[in-house]
Amino acid sequence: MRTARALLLSILVATSGCGGQQSALGSQGAPAIHVEHLILGMVAVCAAIWILVMITLGTALLRARPRTARQDDGSEKPLTMAVSAAVAATTLIIAGLTIASFYTTRGIGLADSTALTITVKGQQWWWQVFYADSSTGPGFQTANEIHIPVGRDVRLQLESPDVIHSFWVPSLAGKQDLVPGRSNSLLLRAEKPGVYRGQCAEFCGLQHSHMAIMVIAEAPGAFEGWAATQRLDAVVSADSDTAAGQASFMAKPCAACHTIRGTPAGGTTGPDLTHIGGRRTIAAGLVETTRGSLAAWIADPQTHKPGNNMPMVSLTSTELRNISAYMESLK
């Protein structure tokens, strides 16, 4: 029952407003367009082969005639020639598809010199995202969301500290594995603004289906504005519930696992929460970011995502209400 419920929830999240676009046939970036063309070309070739095989089979069945005795009437030579031609054609087709696949794979990995580099680490079960220092300011980190500028190459450095994951945002690029002890790379390039949903495509554990990633492509100016905001420390509002929530957060084990820049919280086990209130979803795409969903997640993360590494923390109803208000204010 729990497995069925989890599957239904993942489907609902993928198709909800927070899900974004996720389709290999709705390509919106140069790498994805190349992959789509390769797929369609392979499908067209295979379809043509199937049609020819069906026509040949049908013709053979219609022209079949009984033979009472084996006769050497010279029919073996045309048959041998036909089989040889089929073998040669098969060899050429396979070689052609292999070459097309090779050049497509090589082409989608070539980035220009102005490419933005972002490091993505696959955790169980969420995505840790690092933006390096740049000429416009220091680096920062976020979780489960990647913001990129439209029309610019973005190179993702993919790493994993635990098990094999696979990064896949089908509208922007093909898949690439995240292998422990090894750094792989993937090129993204969005040709128009939008929210593109991705998914871990390698079974990585119990909550594999609840490991989504959002790529938000925006105009270069909007991206720089977002990055400038992300570099800032967290700001606490003057609201009494929010201030009380910050005090409760620092007093509980939360601060030992999470970082909130500008506060004593410096944990590295869980996601950086400095600007969690500004993210579209929490728990790697599980639910939209609202005060209610934040409270539900904090109160009992194991019910929503069994097996995740966040423990239940004993909180009173007042503490829960205040901490959820504090989380929502971090934008």
Tens of pLDDT, residue by residue, the chain (331 residues):
443 433 333 433 444 445 677 776 777 777 888 888 888 899 999 999 999 889 888 887 887 666 555 555 555 677 788 788 888 988 999 999 999 888 877 777 766 777 899 999 999 999 999 999 888 889 999 999 999 999 999 999 999 999 999 999 999 988 899 999 999 999 999 999 999 999 999 999 999 999 999 999 999 999 999 999 999 999 877 888 999 999 999 999 999 999 999 999 999 999 999 999 999 999 999 999 999 999 999 999 999 999 999 998 999 999 999 999 999 999 8
Give 278's DSSP letter.
G
**DSSP letter string over 160-227?**
-SSS-EEEE-TTT---EEE-TT--EEEEE--SS-EEEEEEE-S--STTGGG-EEEEEEE-HHHHHHHH
Nearest to 155 by CA among 182, 181, 131: 131
Give 134's DSSP letter.
B
**CA–CA separation, 283 vs 143, rounded Å?**
9
**CA–CA separation, 243 vs 261, rounded Å?**
16
Place of tokens 């097996």: 307
> Residue 178 is encoded by which pair of tokens?
């995240």
Cβ neighbors of 236 (< 8 A, separation 6 or more) are: 242, 243, 246, 326, 329
Question: At CB < 8 A and 24+ separation, what contacts does 286-291 make?
Answer: 286/9, 286/13, 286/210, 286/212, 287/13, 287/18, 288/16, 288/17, 288/18, 289/328, 290/328, 291/324, 291/325, 291/327, 291/328
What pLDDT, on the 0 to 100 scale, is given for residue 28?
A: 78
**CA–CA separation, 53 vs 100, rounded Å?**
23
**CA–CA separation, 45 vs 85, rounded Å?**
17
> Residue 26 is encoded by which pair of tokens?
């709705």
What pLDDT, on the 0 to 100 scale, is given for residue 321?
A: 95
CB 281 within 8 A of CB 294: no
Residue 265's CB is within 10 A of a number of other CB atoms, namely 20
- Among left, alpha and beta (phi > 0; psi -120 to 50; other), residue 74 is left
Instruction: Please give the domain boundaries of the chain with CATH numbers for all domains.
Output: 22-59+81-220 (2.60.40.420), 240-329 (2.60.40.420)
What pLDDT, on the 0 to 100 scale, is given for residue 79?
A: 73
pLDDT, tens digit (0-9, with 9 covering 90-100), for 170-201: 999 888 999 999 999 999 999 999 999 999 99
User: What is the sign, positive or negative, of the torsion defined by CA atoms of 278, 284, 288, 293?
Assistant: negative
What pLDDT, on the 0 to 100 scale, is given for residue 106?
A: 75
